[in-house]
Structure formats: structure tokens, C-alpha cells
Amino acid sequence: MRSLFTIGLIASWYATNIGVLLLNKFLLSNYGFKYPIFLTLCHMMACSLLSYIAIEWLKIAPMQRVKSRLQMMKISALGFIFCLSVVGGNISLRYLPVSFNQAVGATTPFFTAVFAVVMTSKREGWITYVTLVPVVAGVIIASGGEPLFHLFGFMMCIGATAARALKSVLQGLLLSSEGEKLNSMNLLMYMAPVAVMALFPAALYMEKGVVGITIALARDDWKFLIYLLFNSALAYFVNLANFLVTKHTSPLTLQVLGNAKGAVAVVISIMIFKNPVSITGMLGYSLTVAGVILYTEAKKRS
């Protein structure tokens, strides 16, 4: 019975991860709602509300209180970086196919290793760094073989991947003491409102008239409102499923499943959006995934 429950959690994690990715692409590219900052704002508003409900009312995770102004400042810094990573990822989806977006996103271990050395002087064994060579080489090959390559979209995707890695390193650095450590659900509950406060003026200034356009679209097409609300809720459930899978398995299992999830997302996105792919691009992505798997093994042994 327990194994069935775990399988169900993993299936939910896959469904929410891939679902929000494909729906983001559909809204931003195919549907024509070209407002990635506002879309991220909707995600963060949903995360703020639903994470509070899940912790305070449903008791999915124990409530952890912020104990000082300094701790809140650290959480705010993480929230801002988290916000940049999500916005960058959503902007990249306007210009790049999901398959290539996932290939670039798979290089997160490379950026994590770089930031760990620069910021904490923490070094791994030489074999760990060797495994990062195919991770980077695969993306270079995939970039050269991507029929729909877009330089700005690529830069945004790289920036989002780097920001995601920076957040994970900073999280360990800033919230390292026992009194400051927060589980992922509580951290999200405190980070999401910070992201909302940063994104709201940014959306109004950089995506002029977006609120009025969104209201007009919702009036003209009720399906759009359903897509937007469902997409925003799904963005929260990605984090919830991530937390539950980690709780009932292990962080290492989550890494391995994440590698497979990227490959599944690529196949599904190509089937749905019919974006052209080249043999060179697929070979590059396969090399990156192989490198990430080797990196995970090397980290586990070291």
C-alpha cells in the first residue's frame, strides 16, 4: 500500500511539473498571451495563498515562524532570486521550444558546482567535475542543432538556470543554522509574497496595460480564465508534490526522477507542439542527460 502511495506521489509530481511547463508554453506562445512577468505574478499569488492554506489549515507541514528581521531579509533575498529564475524561465518559453528549454535547464548542476566553489570554497572530487563536461558539451551541441534557436530566449533560459542554482547554494549558506532552517513549504510561503511585491510593479511598468488586457481576454473567452487559474494553481502544486516526494523518498531519488522527467517532458512537448527537432539536437540533449546522471552518481559516491 505504501509503495502504491509513493508511486502515486511520483506520478503527481511528473504530471504537475510537465503540466505547468506545457501550459506556460501554450499560454505564452501558442495562445498569444505574451506577458511572462504577469503570468509569474499569478503563479506567485497562488503560491502565497495556497501555501498558507496548506500549512496553517491543512497541516501538510508544521508551521515554522521567522525568528528575526535578519532571517526575513535572507528569505527576501532568496525570494527575489527565485522570482528571477521563474520569470526568466517563462520569458524563455516565449521564444524557445520546451524541448530545448529542458536541455538548457538540465545544466543546473554545472552552475550549482560553480557557485558552490565561488561562494563557499567547497570543492568536489575531480571525477565530479569531469562529469560536468558532457553536461555543458551537450547543450552546446543541442544549441547548434536547434532549428528554432533564439539568442534572447537562450540567454533568458541560461539566466533562469543560473538563478535556480544560485538560490539553492544561497539557501544552504544563508539559512545554515539550525534555528533558521526552513522546509521547502515554509520557505515558499515566505518567499512568494516577496516575489509578488517585486513582480507587481514590474508587470505594470514593463507590460503596460496587462491588467486591462487580461480582464478583456477573460470576458471574451472564459476558457482563458480557466487556463490562467488552473496554471497558477498548478504552479503551487509543483512545489507541494516536490516536497511530498522528497519527504517520502529522498533528495537523491528526486534528482534521478528529475533527470527522467526532463526526457519525458521533451517527448510530450514534441508530440503536442510538433516543433521540429534535429538529430544533432537530440544527441546533444541525450549527452547532457547522461552527464547529469554521471554527476549524480559521482556526488553520491563522494
Mean pLDDT per block of 10 residues along the chain (302 residues) reads 83 94 94 94 97 95 92 94 96 94 91 90 85 92 91 97 93 85 93 96 95 94 95 96 84 71 87 89 91 85 74
Mind giving me the DSSP string for 15-37?
A: HHHHHHHHHHHIIIIIS----HH
Measured CA to CA, the distance from residue 95 to residue 101 in angstroms comes to 10
What's the total number of domains in the chain? 1
Q: What is the DSSP letter of 52?
A: H
Predicted local distance difference test score (pLDDT) of residue 23: 96
Measured CA to CA, the distance from residue 46 to residue 282 in angstroms comes to 35
Q: Which of 186, 254, 185, 297 is nearest to 14 (CA)?
A: 254
**Residue position matching grid coordinates 566553489:** 117
Predicted local distance difference test score (pLDDT) of residue 111: 93
Q: Say if CB 41 and CB 199 are below 8 A apart.
A: yes
Predicted local distance difference test score (pLDDT) of residue 125: 84
Predicted local distance difference test score (pLDDT) of residue 251: 65
Measured CA to CA, the distance from residue 17 to residue 239 in angstroms comes to 9
Predicted local distance difference test score (pLDDT) of residue 201: 96
Written as one letter, the residue type at 41 is: L
Residue 30 lies in domain: 1-301
Measured CA to CA, the distance from residue 235 to residue 126 in angstroms comes to 37
**Distance, CA of 100 to chain centre:** 15
Dihedral-angle region of residue 296 (phi above 0 means left; psi in -120 to 50 means alpha; beta otherwise): alpha
Predicted local distance difference test score (pLDDT) of residue 88: 97
Q: How far is CA 170 from CA 23, 118, 167, 243, in A?
A: 30, 12, 5, 19
Dihedral-angle region of residue 274 (phi above 0 means left; psi in -120 to 50 means alpha; beta otherwise): left
- For residue 21, give the C-alpha cell: 511547463
Q: Which of 67, 64, 23, 69 is nearest to 46 (CA)?
A: 23
